[in-house]
Amino acid sequence: MATHTEEKSEIRCVFCNRKLSREEIVRYRGVISCRECARSQRQIPSQAARPFFLLASIGCIVGLMTVEFNMLYDLMHRQVLLPSYIPPLPMYFAGLSIAVILQSLGFYAINRPINRNLGIEVAVVGLVTALLQIVSVMDIIVNGPFVMIEEVLYPKDFTNYFSTTHLVYSLFMLAAGLSILVEIGRTGIENGAIAAGALYIASGVTVASVYIWPAVGLVHILMYVVVFVYFISRRETPVEKTITTWGYE
């Protein structure tokens, strides 16, 4: 006959939230799970993911160089009064479009083993971001760096002309950061992964809310350095964790 404590207590799988009997309980990565979920969560060969991680690492280098160039250019020329000052937006958008595309491949590879849809969603957001950045470059090349507002010429910038491109780029970084945090839940806590995810989210918030280049640039530089380490350190075939029982067998 069940005791009062046994009747009241409920042990559930952390993945599917199904109530478990003693015979169904297993321990996987230090948490209680049912055997089916534990098996589905086991890391499988990453399907030749290493090339994707290397491409994403290259994307971080391209992004880092792009942001450094634009930040230094802004610091050197910002003293010139507008509208004489023209920010190097073609260089900025072109470099970031390459960086975003390459990083999107890395995020697809990271999430492909377990959560393929999330990897595809982040990659799609990245491709849309890159497409808008390429369109912005073509606009500047074809139509020039100025826009007329109420019969006054202003240099095209993020706030008065490319705000949509800027916000979608911010959305990509937020999605990238969240996908890293989701991957942490699958593979276990890593300091580098936590830092990379947090810095992506911080950069996304900074891009959307701060229009001062030194602040945006410094956060980006730190983000790209940490994310480069994150991607370059990804393993081709993660180590499988053994499923063990909770001690009732």
**Domain layout of the chain by residue ranges:** 4-43+239-245, 50-232
Phi, psi torsion values for 203, nearest 5 degrees: -65, -40
Rounded mean pLDDT of 194-220? 84
Angle, alpha carbons 196-199-205 (nearest 5°) = 145
For the chain, percent of residues with pLDDT exceeding 70: 78
DSSP character string of 132-162: HHHHHHHHHHHH-SEEEETTEEEE--TTTTS
pLDDT of the residue at 80: 54
Where do the H-state alpha helices sit in 144-212?
163-187, 191-209
Q: Which long-range contacts (CB under 8 A, 24 or more apart) does 143-146 make?
A: 145/86, 145/89, 146/83
pLDDT at 196 exceeding the cut of 70 = yes
pLDDT of the residue at 23: 78
User: Mean pLDDT lowest for which of 149-153, 158-162, 183-187, 191-195?
Assistant: 183-187
Q: Smallest Cα–Cα separation from 140: which of 80, 97, 95, 91?
A: 91
pLDDT of the residue at 182: 81
Q: pLDDT of 65-111, one tens digit each?
A: 999 888 888 777 766 555 556 678 888 899 999 999 999 999 998 88
pTM (predicted TM-score) = 0.72
Query: If pLDDT is split at 50, 70 and 90, which confidence band does 229 have?
Result: very high
Give the Cα separation of 169 and 17 in Å (integer): 35
* Range with the largest mean pLDDT of 45-54, 180-189, 199-208: 199-208
Give the tokens for residue 193: 């992964």
Compare 24 and 219 and report the one with higher pLDDT.
219
Query: If pLDDT is split at 50, 70 and 90, which confidence band does 125 have?
Result: very high
Compare 18 and 82 and report the one with higher pLDDT.
18
Classify burial at 194, counting beta carbons within 10 Å of its beta carbon; exposed 0-12, middle 13-18, buried 19 or more.
Answer: middle
pLDDT of the residue at 111: 82
